[in-house]
Structure 1
Amino acid sequence: MAASSIAGDKTKTSDADLEKLPLRDVLAKLTVDPTQGLTAAEAQKRLDHYGPNALAEKTESFALKLIRHFMGPIAYMIEAAALVSAVIGHWEDFAIILGLLLFNVALELWQDRKASNALAALKKGLAPEATALRDGKWQTIDAAVLVPGDIVKIRLGVIVPADLRMVSGDYASIDQAALTGESLPVAKKVGDAAYSGSVVKQGEMEAVVIATGSSTFFGRTAKLVAGAGAVSHAQQAMFQIGNFLIAIAVVLAAIMVAVKVYHDIVIADTWGLKDALGILQFVLVLLVASIPVAMPTVFSITMALGALALSREKAIVSKLSAIEEMAGVSILCSDKTGTLTKNQLKLGEPILLAAADAQDCILAGALASRAEDRDAIDTAVIDALADRDALQPWKQLKFVPFDPVTKRTEATVADASGHKIVVAKGAPQAIVDLARPSKDIADRVTQTVAALAAKGSRALGVARSTDEGQSWTVLGILPMFDPPRDDSKATIERANAKGVSVKMVTGDDTAIAIETARQLGMGTNIIPAADAFPKDMDPNNVPPQIVDAIERADGFARVFPEHKYAIVKALQSRGHIVAMTGDGVNDAPALKQADCGTAVSGATDAARGAAALILTAPGLSVINSAIDEARRIFARITSYTIYRVTLTMDIMFLVVLSSIFLGFQPLTAVMIVVMSLLDDLPIMAIAYDNTRVSEKPIRWKLPRLLGVSATLGFFSIVQSFGLLLIGMEIIGHPAHGAALGLGTTHQLQTVMFLQLVAGGHLLLFVTRTERWFFLPPFPAATLFWAIVATQIVAVVMCAAGWLVEPISWRLIGAIWAYNIAWLFVMGAARLATERFADYRTDRHLASTQMVNQPLRTAP
């Protein structure tokens, strides 16, 4: 067939159609004889048309990646700060700022490498070789050159090389749990489909390739992974806060320059090059001080220490921003199998029909099993024996493995005396068809199976024959279920108490999901995703009515990768911060898209590569620890942000207002740089601070945060400007100045320098907690002594005259007393501001509820 005709077929028949069409039509569409396969020439034509059976990957040079990490608002601000420092010759400051910039870039490059591991891990899941029928001969070829229409052979242990339809053979048992989330291997017969990347556990069959590369089920998953990803809320907040500070700094600097130039040119008429350079130098230094160059570093260090704490809880963080995201998580979408449940089939109490007792029924089922096959059902039945030694007297003479046609296993066994019996286990209806019992027994089996299915349990029928298969007796029904983990219910309750809603997401049947949810105390509004989502739906644009259903649902059953991805995207579109857990290839797109994708213990490499948090201990219990740690970290970052914005406003407004209205520069350029270092470097110790754990999800509320910062900034400006006015008044009265040791404007600059350094760090005690600063939790020792150390340096500088004009110890004590008095004022201002904000929020919510409340008609 020519490539052009293939292209025509491609447009008329999708891969999904080839998965569902009758097998005869599939072979006709692909124009292939299953006994001869494709010719080498035809295979090459199709390879040229469809492309290789591999995942497409866009490559980017390291140089481009490196350049990209030096771009962006925060990076531009830091680079501008470094350039300004170099221009004015402050090389020490330049070195510190450049070091911060390189540290952030190195951190981002490392995280970028971790994120790219998702596609690399997916590629590992593809089969490297395949056995294909070409030119009428079976041959081993590179799986990458397979094309639609190729006839391939699959057998025990091989990875399915492409999407297939079975054309011949008895059966194959294929484990596709990593792709579809089904907890048990699926038996395939002629006509059934098999997915690329799944693993053959039993049997051997021949199949025709219906899809390759990115068109396969596996490939579509990889495409979702490549396109998935959400921007960190912390990054967004940093950009907005940085822009806010720069805007204030630029406006105030422009005002100050305009006033200064007007005064020198128009009023004083003393304008010269030296004056211009002096103004430029001071403005540039002021802008450097206002740029939050340490903010990304403080954020990174704080989250890195949080990652270290989580590692002790057996959780590995591969994306630092996920820690901050976890603080605001309001919905946790949890995989069921192996996460909420043990992923270990367990037998319930047998429903007896003709068996003497429960162990008699289980023993018959165990004799119809083969332990060495390591089949999940066989293992569960054998493990249910009260005494494994009960198998010892029996010798298995013949064993017929599970067949998807007969849907049962069968074994001939003999006891120590040589007496033979035949036992069988399998689908209840298959056992009924085999034994042909009375109508009463058959009806009871049907009713029992229906009752078990309603509870989400699988059913296994067991029968025995004492006359070598001539007649059979139905012994009973063995219920099977995957039991919840011992800690799952408590974990879910604790998450709910933290304001986090847990939604179950599973590939299993709806009834199984509902029963598991009931046992775990979750809601039972489980939506079968395959029915709820339109088949042609774009997962990036979920219709509003489906989003409404997703928000209301307690969980989802029978999900595919695009469903999980669409669920996360839909919830994010409604403003939720979403965490997603998973362990398989099918989970990778949703894990990468989620705000905090979490790969659970035993996850595939693809899931680990896509996830931001990797659990190394079974279950979800560590999630609660992650939420607590995340909320502590968020509190630390918030307190630093309020502190930094407040202090920047204080410095900027003090300098500008005093220059305009008083004609006095309260700080020298050297003081501003030293103060910036004394404020920012030790403040990184806030990463170790003690904080309260919020009872509800918390997220960035920039209007509230900037409102609190602006209020504290206003009071800080009043505090600093007030001291400046007091100082100028004292200088104007020499007698008062002599008593305190304050007689010159240079000494007044030292006073303002010490007030800002000391007041700034005392301010941190106010911003670090939403309560009064003297109530617990108290500052961590690391933070407290870091502040003490910087204050000692500042005090010694002022007393000894290092880089500043020296002042007396009496004056130093007076400045500290002034700052401590203002500490209580600042604390009261923060409490009042936040209570007012909460009152406004509560009123808004009450008004919204009243407006949305349906009108009631009078009777």
Structure 2
Amino acid sequence: MHLPTSLFASFLQSRRVLRHFRRPTILWHEHAAGARQQVPPALAQGLRQVAGEDAAALLLRLGTREDGLTPGEAEARLAKSGPNEVGHEKALPLWLHLWLAYKNPFSLLLTALAVISYLTEDVAATVVIATMVAVSTLIRLVQERRSGSAAEALKAMVRNTATVLRHGGDGQSVQQEVPMRALVPGDVVHLSAGDMVPADCRLLAAKDLFVGQAAMTGESLPVEKFATSHAAAADGGAQTDVVALPNIVFMGTNVVSGTATAVVVSTGARTYFGMLADHVMAAGPTATAFQAGVNQVSWLLIRFALVMVPIVLLVNGFTKGDWMEAFLFALSVAVGLTPEMLPMIVTSTLAKGAVQLSRRKVVVKRLDAIQNFGAMDILCTDKTGTLTQDHIVLGRNIDVLGAPSDEVLEFAYLNSYYQTGLKNLLDHAVLEHAELQVNLKLHEHYHKVDEIPFDFQRRRMSVVVSERDDHHELICKGAVEEVLAACSSARIGGAEQPLDAALLARVRAVTAALNADGLRVVAVAMKEITPGQAVYSVADEAGLTLVGYIAFLDPPKESAAPALQALAAHGVRVKVLTGDNDLVAARVCRSVGLAVDGVLLGSAVEAMDDAQLADAAERHTLFARLAPLHKERLVRALRSRGHVVGFLGDGINDAPALRAADIGISVDSAVDIAKEAADIILLEKSLMVLKEGVVEGRRVFSNMLKYIRMAASSNFGNVFSVLLASIFLPFLPMLPLQLLVQNLLYDISQIAIPFDRVDDDLVRLPLHWNPGAIRSFMLCFGPISSVFDVLTFALLWHMFGASDVAHQALFHSGWFVEGLLSQTLIVHMIRSPRLPFLQSRPAAALLATTLAIMAVGVWLPMGPLAVYFKLVPLPPAYFGWLVALLLGYATLTQLMKRFYLRRFPWQ
């Protein structure tokens, strides 16, 4: 039987479109363990050779220099090697796409029916069925190609870049940001915290470089990489795991901390990541929660078809005696029961939704993420840039006891100026004091010796500078408690005092007062070191002297409070997850009207098991001083309670939570790893933009549900009517050809559903897949059409004499018109819980297709084509009765809506 897989199989054809939006780095690790054992020997040997080769020899072999390629060289190599893309699928040729659009069980079933009709010399049936196949195939082809074009246009709006050294004609080199897809072998790239590694690269220089390789290995802890040649690889150590090579960094991984310079050795499909991509794509796509929801609904309809179609065959075979005709009729019923427009409706609705979202500054990377966007009931977000203006200004620079101090600002400026890692908004606020370059005479008196990059465990970073070449100064800045942990003294009034318990208490009182005022405090410390040391490490961050603090203000956004109110009105609860100080975070939350009933700190999260954390996550609104893995645990804890959780983040520390969320949301200004991990990218970091996106996601989902509800209820009623008529009539209630034409016309009337309006009430709360609700809807509304079908049967039998085989054409014609008009009418009756046309108006496109199909349905028996479909003109008196039947149908359906709404939610 084709039916058990037919309904969902055609939907999966749209994976060619959805694959454009898939986030690869999140999926590869699921297959990494098996794939690592299948590394092609040539690839493994090549990487080992690169790892063991002397850096100068490698650069010579690659035809490049330490300061990179010239723009002309890079352009020529790009033309030769192709774009640096993995798993990229070229646009399908039109003929192949046409074949794939046709090749589904629905079309195959109809084609078989057309062949049988042709062999039995039923030309009219052959033409109609062939038309049905052609229309269905062409609609799917056009929609998928339009969706593919929309996908490519949206992809072009979000591009990751890499920092590349370009060699100039004057012997100088400059750093440039170029799209990752434009990288070529031989390019020299600069890497720092938050960057995605853009290709397989050999390190030329590295400083405290830690790389997250979970996308490749599934291992959560980052690994340290070094720039030295790997002797074991050079010796041909075939046992060396390729991923473990310490001087090779791989496409798809990300820099957790530190900095590096590396040369690109392979790009695109020739990378280790490209090999994994081919392995994963060959294994086929993994069903998402959205696809699982479609599948559940599909199986509901399939089970109904599997029960009803054999019954129709047996009843007509035994009562009419013509088993071939009964078989063809049962096949026609099977076609009628199959909502063959589902793949087209789903694909076009999602594609249209993605385009609509892009107009609201929301770029969708994965089409099926739209449903999760609309179903989201909890949003987890950082405060910076969402609740605040994301424009941090330096508010105060003060000494240890709170007095203004220019010396503290000077030390902070030196630290921010010379660090080469991830410069955050705090650094940019400090560097706005450009006059200090002149005051400090940076280029005359200072040069950089080394730096100790930031990481999220230490939460501080240091630079070492040489002042007039007579001593080194290690300058450290970072979170207050983490800097204090490295200090043994404090500078007060120009003199150093031991940082004892009493002084520590005074320090904490000063910083707490600043936090209570809503200021974010960064501690600054330093120590002088005798020259002679060239390389410094975390171990040197000890015995520091606390100099003072720099405090920053990030004012609340004016739009934050109304946006929070709008989200709450739409059933979305907002929780703030931040690594910042709890006092600062609480002050910001209260200023925008977000109730804070206690704060859960990262230390408390660490101490809880999963069950305790799930309880705490439900109760609390604000979570502060969190590490990246704390955010991930909180997201998973909320999901374990049945919530659909969105996470909004833009930093490297947000990547684990973005991956764990049902819907990962980032912004176009985010670090590469955050954008890569997200499902949706906001072109403006605003909760109001997010709220508009949520509402649009619900509109998209609501339109898909309309079609599914209509198909389910209409099919149920039609088959019930067919069964009743088959039992009592001496002839078939409708010929197979007529049933197919009716089904074709009805399908065409549904094309405009993706463009329909959606009532505001229907997008006020999150929408979820609920097969049980669809079943209830089908059972409540399906029998109504059967009531009026039976009344039509009685009318045709008794009033118009269509009671024997000789007059069956009149019966077929009457039921053909009534069935088609009632089916198209039901679209408007159940598209909204409100009173149709008066309280809820359909889109013009849907109204136009409905009227056009109703007109065609009335014209067919009356026009010149009637003979081909074995229909006959209907008597004028019939149309008066038909209007009365349709009015009664509409009235009873409206009454049933009231009954239904008292017992079930309208979804």
**Fold shared per TM-score above 0.5:** yes
Give how far 1:713 is off: 0.7
Distance in 2 (alpha carbons) for counterparts of 1:159 and 1:573: 30
- The corresponding residue for 2:853 is 790
Distance in 1 (alpha carbons) for counterparts of 2:853 and 2:199: 64
Which residue, 494, 499, 506 being the options, matches 2:566? 494
Matches within 5 A, 1:506-521: 506-508=578-580, 513-520=585-592, 521=594
Which residue, 276, 279, 286 being the options, matches 2:323? 276
Which residue, 662, 682, 694 being the options, matches 2:729? 662
SS of 1:478's equivalent in the other structure is strand
CA contact (8 A) 1:324 1:634 kept: yes
Distance in 1 (alpha carbons) for counterparts of 2:613 and 2:402: 49
Distance in 1 (alpha carbons) for counterparts of 2:186 and 2:625: 31
Deviations 1:418-469 (A, max 9, x none): xxxx9x9967968933722789999755531243357672145699xxxxxx
- The corresponding residue for 2:807 is 744
Q: Structure 1 pair 342/85, CA: closer, same or farther in 2 (3 Å)?
A: farther
1:449 pairs with 2:518: no
Give how far 1:833 is off: 1.6
- The corresponding residue for 1:6 is none
- The corresponding residue for 2:311 is 255
Give how far 1:730 is off: 0.8
Code of the residue aligned with 1:753 in structure 2: it is F
Distance in 2 (alpha carbons) for counterparts of 1:215 and 1:547: 38
SS of 1:779's equivalent in the other structure is coil
Which residue, 766, 785, 807 being the options, matches 1:716? 785
CA contact (8 A) 2:212 2:223 kept: yes
C-alpha RMSD over aligned residues: 5.8
Give how far 1:744 is off: 3.4
CA contact (8 A) 1:111 1:319 kept: no
Distance in 2 (alpha carbons) for counterparts of 1:474 and 1:254: 84
- The corresponding residue for 2:816 is 753
CA contact (8 A) 2:632 2:656 kept: yes
- The corresponding residue for 2:551 is 479
Give how far 1:101 is off: 6.2
Structure 2, unmatched stretches of 5+, are: 1-50, 55-85, 118-125, 163-178, 189-197, 214-221, 229-251, 262-270, 453-459, 478-482, 527-544
Q: Structure 1 pair 403/651, CA: closer, same or farther in 2 (3 Å)?
A: closer
Code of the residue aligned with 1:728 in structure 2: it is W
Give how far 1:764 is off: 1.4
Which residue, 418, 428, 432 being the options, matches 2:490? 432
1:198 pairs with 2:255: yes
- The corresponding residue for 2:4 is none
CA contact (8 A) 2:209 2:226 kept: no
- The corresponding residue for 2:605 is 532
Code of the residue aligned with 1:163 in structure 2: it is V
Q: Structure 1 pair 628/203, CA: closer, same or farther in 2 (3 Å)?
A: closer
1:771 pairs with 2:816: no
- The corresponding residue for 2:300 is 244
Give how far 1:575 is off: 1.9
CA contact (8 A) 1:230 1:594 kept: no
Greater displacement, 586-595 / 683-692: 586-595
CA contact (8 A) 2:647 2:661 kept: yes
Give how far 1:291 is off: 0.5
- The corresponding residue for 1:703 is 772
Deviations 1:533-561 (A, max 9, x none): 589xxxxxx84333333333435456566
Matches within 5 A, 1:325-344: 325-344=372-391
* TM superposition score normalised by structure 2: 0.63
- The corresponding residue for 1:318 is 365
- The corresponding residue for 1:684 is 751
Distance in 2 (alpha carbons) for counterparts of 1:669 and 1:621: 53
Q: Structure 1 pair 442/670, CA: closer, same or farther in 2 (3 Å)?
A: closer
Structure 1, unmatched stretches of 5+, are: 1-36, 41-56, 132-141, 169-194, 205-213, 265-270, 414-421, 464-472, 536-541, 842-859
Distance in 2 (alpha carbons) for counterparts of 1:215 and 1:338: 36
Distance in 2 (alpha carbons) for counterparts of 1:324 and 1:516: 31
Greater displacement, 749-758 / 317-326: 317-326
Distance in 1 (alpha carbons) for counterparts of 2:315 and 2:709: 30
SS of 2:800's equivalent in the other structure is helix
Give how far 1:78 is off: 6.0
Question: Which protein shows a greater Rg?
Answer: 1
CA contact (8 A) 1:485 1:619 kept: no
Code of the residue aligned with 1:448 in structure 2: it is V
Q: Structure 1 pair 345/198, CA: closer, same or farther in 2 (3 Å)?
A: farther
- The corresponding residue for 2:897 is 830
Q: Structure 1 pair 58/727, CA: closer, same or farther in 2 (3 Å)?
A: closer
Distance in 2 (alpha carbons) for counterparts of 1:685 and 1:831: 26
Give how far 1:714 is off: 0.9
CA contact (8 A) 2:254 2:673 kept: no
SS of 1:690's equivalent in the other structure is coil
Greater displacement, 762-771 / 546-555: 546-555
Give how far 1:263 is off: 3.6
1:302 pairs with 2:349: yes
SS of 1:777's equivalent in the other structure is coil
- The corresponding residue for 1:731 is 800
Greater displacement, 364-373 / 681-690: 364-373
SS of 1:292's equivalent in the other structure is coil
Q: Structure 1 pair 569/365, CA: closer, same or farther in 2 (3 Å)?
A: closer
Code of the residue aligned with 2:820 in structure 1: it is V
- The corresponding residue for 2:206 is 154
Code of the residue aligned with 1:817 in structure 2: it is A
Matches within 5 A, 1:356-505: 377=426, 379-381=428-430, 383=432, 398-399=445-446, 432-433=490-491, 435-436=494-495, 444-452=506-514, 457-460=520-523, 477-505=549-577
Deviations 1:737-763 (A, max 9, x none): 9xxxx9933122111111111111211
SS of 2:728's equivalent in the other structure is helix
SS of 2:379's equivalent in the other structure is strand
Distance in 2 (alpha carbons) for counterparts of 1:364 and 1:609: 37
Q: Structure 1 pair 835/682, CA: closer, same or farther in 2 (3 Å)?
A: same
Distance in 1 (alpha carbons) for counterparts of 2:180 and 2:884: 66
Matches within 5 A, 1:20-169: 76=105, 80-81=109-110, 83-88=112-117, 89=126, 90-99=129-138, 153-154=205-206, 163-164=223-224
CA contact (8 A) 1:724 1:752 kept: yes
Code of the residue aligned with 1:645 in structure 2: it is A
- The corresponding residue for 2:339 is 292
Give how far 1:286 is off: 1.3
Give how far 1:495 is off: 1.3
1:523 pairs with 2:523: no
Distance in 1 (alpha carbons) for counterparts of 2:260 and 2:741: 75
SS of 2:751's equivalent in the other structure is helix
Code of the residue aligned with 1:243 in structure 2: it is W
Q: Structure 1 pair 670/563, CA: closer, same or farther in 2 (3 Å)?
A: farther
CA contact (8 A) 1:303 1:321 kept: yes
CA contact (8 A) 2:357 2:693 kept: yes
Code of the residue aligned with 1:240 in structure 2: it is Q
CA contact (8 A) 1:325 1:577 kept: yes
- The corresponding residue for 1:135 is none
Distance in 2 (alpha carbons) for counterparts of 1:587 and 1:366: 26
Distance in 1 (alpha carbons) for counterparts of 2:255 and 2:282: 20
Q: Structure 1 pair 551/76, CA: closer, same or farther in 2 (3 Å)?
A: farther
- The corresponding residue for 1:616 is 683
Distance in 1 (alpha carbons) for counterparts of 2:865 and 2:765: 48
CA contact (8 A) 2:602 2:623 kept: yes
